[in-house]
Amino acid sequence: MNYEKACKTLNIKELTIESLKKQYRFNALKYHPDKNKSPDASIKFQEIQESYEYLSDYLEYDNSENEYEDEDEEFSESNKNSYRNILFSFLNNIVVNEKGDSILKLIIHRISNSCEIKAIEILEKIDKNITIKIYEVLKRNREVFHFSPEFYDKLEALFKEKVKDDEYIILNPNIDDLFENNLYKLKINEITYLVPLWHDELIYDNSGSDIYVKCRPVLEENVTIDNKNNITVMIKYNITDIWKNKCVTVNLGKKTLTIDAEKLFIREHQKIVLEKQGISRINTINTLDVSRKSDIIIDITIL
């Protein structure tokens, strides 16, 4: 095993501890021999394990750290390479900022380890809002769940039946709306709803049916927002400009961030984390709470 091969096996373009864990979980589930029936699945899974171990050593990262919560005995680390345990770790990292997220993860876990007929029966019986969130997770991550096309056809039909009387609205705030904690006044049937624009999705009751409001910010191409509302800005700077100006300047809408050149290392790529200087974090209990702020991550490439 070597560095280039390991990164290629896990499809890692830029190696960090977070990208390593993320790509390992995804690929390990995709090729896990307990679910993937391809003839070469076991060999591929072994390569994934070896690549993960190699890159963990390269980063001096202790991958024996327990990533599994103690909220259920069956998710113990007795076999950390089992499909069940890797799946639970995967769900822990994609289901965040959700009301009742532990219940949501548990139901998805149960479904993934049930036969397809039983899985559909479970989804038919549970709350509509939970069904919708499960639907979105399963659709986005088809490769790791290994359900058949027929299952997804039934899932699609079930989803359409459950939301047939609901309304979907998409809002497109800009980055300044997020920093300023702006609210959008949504008026439907003479009722006004206040939508906090830093949330990704909210659900409002509308006389028996539901209104789903999704906020999809309009961002510059070099700006992304993750599921914890952390903002990453990717910039490129010429080293001569950095030493000339003695700083790096980053513009985010009306906001200007300045980083002293002294804080930078003389290397091609690095990240600077500005803690608690981002937008408000999502509070699913008190949706208007703006007391906790996310981080801003400046991803700098020096030319």
Going by pLDDT thresholds of 50, 70 and 90, the confidence category of residue 104 is confident
Amino acid letter, residue 303? L
Residue 63 has what pLDDT? 62
Q: Is the pLDDT of residue 70 over 80?
A: no
Q: Is the pLDDT of residue 32 over 90?
A: yes
Residue 209 has what pLDDT? 81
Q: What is the pLDDT of residues 265-300, one digit of tens each?
A: 777 788 889 999 999 999 988 999 999 999 999 988
Alpha helix positions (H), the chain: 3-9, 17-30, 41-59, 83-94, 101-112, 116-125, 128-140, 142-145, 149-162, 175-179, 239-245
> Which of 86-100, 107-121, 123-137, 165-179 has the weakest average pLDDT?
86-100
Mean pLDDT for the stretch of residues 184-194: 89
Q: Is the pLDDT of residue 75 over 80?
A: no
Tell me if 55 sits within 8 A of 7, measured CB to CB.
yes
220 versus 103: the higher-pLDDT residue is 220
Q: Is the pLDDT of residue 244 over 90?
A: no
Going by pLDDT thresholds of 50, 70 and 90, the confidence category of residue 69 is very low
Q: Where are the domains of the chain?
A: 3-162, 167-215, 223-302
CA-to-CA separations, 34 to 49, 106, 110, 125, 144, in angstroms, rounded: 15, 19, 16, 28, 12
Residue 158 has what pLDDT? 92
Q: What is the pLDDT of residues 142-160, one digit of tens each?
A: 999 999 999 999 999 999 9
The dotted CATH code for 223-302 is 2.60.260
> Which of 23-37, 85-99, 161-175, 181-195 has the weakest average pLDDT?
85-99
Q: Is the pLDDT of residue 73 over 50?
A: no
- Of 25, 140, 33, nearest to 88 by C-alpha is 25
CB burial string 167-188: b at 16+ within 10 A, e below:
eebebebbbebbbbeeeeebee
CB burial string 115-149: b at 16+ within 10 A, e below:
eeeebbeebeeeeebbbbbbbebbeebeebbbbee
Going by pLDDT thresholds of 50, 70 and 90, the confidence category of residue 241 is confident
Residue 237 has what pLDDT? 82
Residue 223 has what pLDDT? 94
In whole numbers, what is the pLDDT of the chain averaged over residues?
87
Residue 71 has what pLDDT? 44
Distance CA 118, CA 139 (A): 18
**Which phi and psi angles does 249 have, rounded to 5°?**
-110, 135
Distance CA 111, CA 120 (A): 8
Going by pLDDT thresholds of 50, 70 and 90, the confidence category of residue 261 is confident
